[in-house]
Amino acid sequence: MTKKYATLCLALMSFAMARAEVIVSSPDGRISVDFEMKDGKPTYSVLYDGQVAIAPSALGLKTNMGDYTQRLKWDKEKERTGEQHGSYVLPSLKEGQEHNFKMNTAILQFSQRERPVMEVEFRVSNRDVAFNYTLLPQRDTRSCVITEEASAFRVADNALTFMAPQSNPMTGFARTMPSYETKYTLGEPVGKNGWGNGYTFPCLFEVPNADKEKALWILVSETGTDGDYVGCRLLGGNGGEYRIGFPMEGELNGWGCTSVQMALPGKTPWRTITVGHTPANIIETTVTWDLVEAKYPASKDYSKDYGKGMWSWIIGMDSSCNFDEQKRYIDFAAAMGYRSLLVDALWDVQIGRERIAELSRYAQSKGVGLYLWYNSNGSWNDAPQSPKGIMNNPYERRKEMKWMQEIGILGIKVDFFGGDKQPMMQLYEDILTDANDYGIMVIFHGCTLPRGWERMFPNYVASEAILASENLHFSQGFCDAEARDCGTMYPFTRNAVGSMDFGGSALNKYYSASNNRGSRRITSDVYALATAVIFQSPVQHFALAPNNLTDAPAYAIDFMKTVPTKWDEVRFIDGYPGKYIIMARRAGDKWYIAGVNAMDTPVKQTLPLPMLEGKSTVSLYQKDGVKPVKVTKKQTVKVEIPTNGGFVIVK
Ligand code: CA
């Protein structure tokens, strides 16, 4: 679409919406935010190339100081516009090189009974719209409770959804839900409300259009949440309208309220809307991190300890968590040149603290560092695995972390959290903050979505917050749908907004130590290699097993030895959630172009790959091996992705 045409569309649209006015546009002018007051209610909408992405939707907060969703006056003369730009380096991200961002901003002020009560700030980049609220103190009132957030997102009625239903609280294994472990919808129409509780972030919408170039892809999420707010979800059930929901009463076993306690003036987290005609902006967005800042300085350079690792639990389960087997995995990690080994649940009883210290010394002698698993409990669910009662206790936690530092532990994986209420969000923050004092990196499992945490907490590594590899062990049905529900879904959704601890890329044929029984992997070996590129986390604990040194193809083992976990750039090439994905990541001067396919028929494509400029041959991993292939003069490469298979091109 030409710029002129876009402007014309925009003009027509503004005309159609009569009283709404553009308050801020993206630096390239393609995204704009319209605003209007409707009977005292603030309402915004988002346009992309003149097309409506978010139709007029509500803004506002309900608090115990007042209802700031209605009877508001827009103090138009107080509007402040400006620009936010900056740069940062975050090697833990999908775009780890010096990253520059630029956003145009507008701050709107609202008053009630002649007193300013609330501000809404919009920030608009070339890919994203974000907004948050500032609540202002009233006379002697310097704290408040937010009981409800009215923020809504109305998408077109013909939009299709790709989103994970919020589970019922206190359900699932040992009543550990919600833990962001439900299956994404596959293009379901709008209008439902999940299983009755809405959906967890991020939420992806496609607005199809007969003219493909006018299709819209919209990702709604939030960022900047810490112990000062609750984790929110998206409630549906009203056509294309979705709105912010606070946690459910039953979370945390019913303890703690669902509202937010806030000091004034106070800011809410950011609501983010990423939009484009293809999913490219969604896969490449950095809005989650552009909007936040570090909450404390790093106590050391964590990035030098990022890298590959493994864990025995995914193949060997609880019984593998013994001294001899962990030692065997340390030798395996060393043979692979990996940086770490994750020692999973029950190490405190099956190995013991003294021998963990011995194991850690042994690992370090081989250049391998250990991660130790902890149960976050607590009183919020019934998960019995130990060690427990440590990470939820400030004194025990710090004592434990001091011990870990003394014996050279690299990091922790803390599991089985209790939902998104404010005290639970505070626990995440407390664990991270304390761990940084002892130079410990943190991975969360059975947990909430990270919301900008890679930048806010420098020792934060990644979270599960997804149906992850453990389900491949537990269920053949999950294995059968792995390409559809994981490989071709997560890059468009969960992994677009945060480092994801999936723990996959198994090369065993079966999820068992004997490798001849248990659930069977139906994805190919090259699929495993491709997802090592497609799934992003600065620390990857792969589901490899020592027997893979002899029973897996040599090309696959060699690839898994060298695949990076730190990336400098990401690009979407082609794909559709639940069907197939082709994307590229760059590490230094090396490009990895990877794809996987969940459809019944192979994907055959001649890929234009401008990043291969100046290269005549590349290594192509495809079907059962790797071979050098010629790059055509037009910088294209022909690829074929079989059903449940993958490909990787390495330049
Ligand atoms: Ca889990």
pLDDT at 4 over 60: no
CA of 364 to the centre of ligand 1 (A): 28
Gap from CA of 582 to ligand 1 centroid (Å): 27
Q: What is the pTM of this model?
A: 0.96
Cα 475 to ligand 1 centre (Å): 13
Of 153, 156, 149, which is closest to residue 135 (Cα–Cα)?
Answer: 149
**Does 3-290 match 574-650 in CATH topology?**
no
Query: Alpha-carbon distance 310 to 287, whole Å?
Result: 30
pLDDT of amino acid 7:
52
How far, in Å, is the centroid of ligand 1 from the Cα of 444? 9
For ligand 1, the distance from its centroid to the CA atom of residue 96, given in whole angstroms, is 27
Please determine, for residue 3, whether its predicted confidence score (pLDDT) is greater than 70. Answer: no
CA of 465 to the centre of ligand 1 (A): 7
| Signed CA dihedral, 555, 468, 201, 278: sign only | positive
pLDDT in tens, 535-582: 999 999 999 999 999 999 999 999 999 999 999 999 999 999 999 999
Predicted confidence at residue 5, as pLDDT, reads: 54
pLDDT given for residue 224 in this prediction: 98
Which pLDDT does position 21 carry in this prediction?
A: 93
What per-residue confidence (pLDDT) applies to 6? 53
What is the whole-number distance in angstroms between the Cα of residue 398 and the centre of ligand 1? 25
Tokens of 307: 């890298």
The rounded distance, in Å, linking the Cα atoms of 202 and 200 is 6
Written as one string, the DSSP assignment of 423-469 is HHHHHHHHHHHHHHHTT-EEEE-S-PPPSSHHHHSTTEEEE--SS-T
Q: How far, in Å, is the centroid of ligand 1 from the Cα of 243?
A: 27
Dihedrals phi, psi of 553, to nearest 5 degrees: -60, 140
- Residue 388: name the closest of 447, 438, 350, 346 by CA: 346
Q: What is the pLDDT of residue 97?
A: 77
Q: Separation of 625 CA from ligand 1 center, angstroms? A: 32
State the pLDDT at residue 95: 78
For residue 466, the CA-to-ligand 1 centroid distance in Å is 7
- Ligand 1 centroid – CA 86 distance (Å): 36
**Centroid of ligand 1 to alpha carbon of 131 (angstroms):** 31
| CA distance linking residue 464 with residue 179, whole number of Å | 9
**645: pLDDT strictly greater than 50:** yes
H-assigned helices in 48-169: none
* Identity at 361, one-letter amino acid code: R
Burial of 331 (0-12, 13-18, 19+ CB in 10 A): middle
Q: How far is the CA of 176 from the centre of ligand 1 (A)?
A: 9
Give the per-residue pLDDT at 16: 46
Residue 17 has pLDDT above 90, yes or no: no
Kindly state the helix (H) or strand (E) to which residue 218 belongs, with its residue range. strand 216-223
CA of 369 to the centre of ligand 1 (A): 23
pLDDT at 309: 98
The CATH number of 574-650 is: 2.60.40.1180
pLDDT band (50, 70, 90) for residue 15: very low
Residue 10 confidence (pLDDT) above 70: no
**What is the whole-number distance in angstroms between the Cα of residue 419 and the centre of ligand 1?**
13
CA of 524 to the centre of ligand 1 (A): 24
What's the CA-to-centroid distance between 179 and ligand 1, angstroms? 7
Q: How far is the CA of 598 from the centre of ligand 1 (A)?
A: 23
Domains of the chain, by residue range, sit at: 3-290, 306-566, 574-650
Q: CA angle, corner 69, sides to 68 and 74, nearest 5?
A: 75
- Tell me the per-residue pLDDT of 232-279, one tens digit each, with 9 for 90 and over: 999 999 999 999 999 999 999 999 999 999 999 999 999 999 999 999
How far is the centre of ligand 1, averaged over its atoms, from the C-alpha of 270 (Å)? 27
24-59 core/surface letters (b: 16 or more CB in 10 A; e: else) = bbbeeebbbbbbbeeeebbbbbbbbbbbbbbbbbbb
At 367-419, the pLDDT tens digits run 999 999 999 988 999 999 999 999 999 999 999 999 999 999 999 999 999 99
Q: What is the pLDDT of residues 432-478, one digit of tens each?
A: 999 999 999 999 999 999 999 999 999 999 999 999 999 999 999 99
Domain 306-566 in CATH 3.40.50.300:
no
Q: How far is the CA of 580 from the centre of ligand 1 (A)?
A: 25
Residues 132-177 have pLDDT tens digits of: 999 999 999 999 999 999 999 999 999 999 999 999 999 999 999 9
Torsion angle defined by CA atoms of residues 280, 282, 286 and 292, in that order, rounded to the nearest 10 degrees: 170
Q: What pLDDT sits at residue 614?
A: 84
Pick the CATH number of 3-290 from 3.40.50.300, 2.40.10.10, 2.70.98.10, 2.40.70.10: 2.70.98.10
For the cut 70, the answer to whether the pLDDT of residue 637 exceeds it is: yes
State in Å: Cα 318 to ligand 1 middle.
14
Tokens of residue 258, six digits: 């669902």
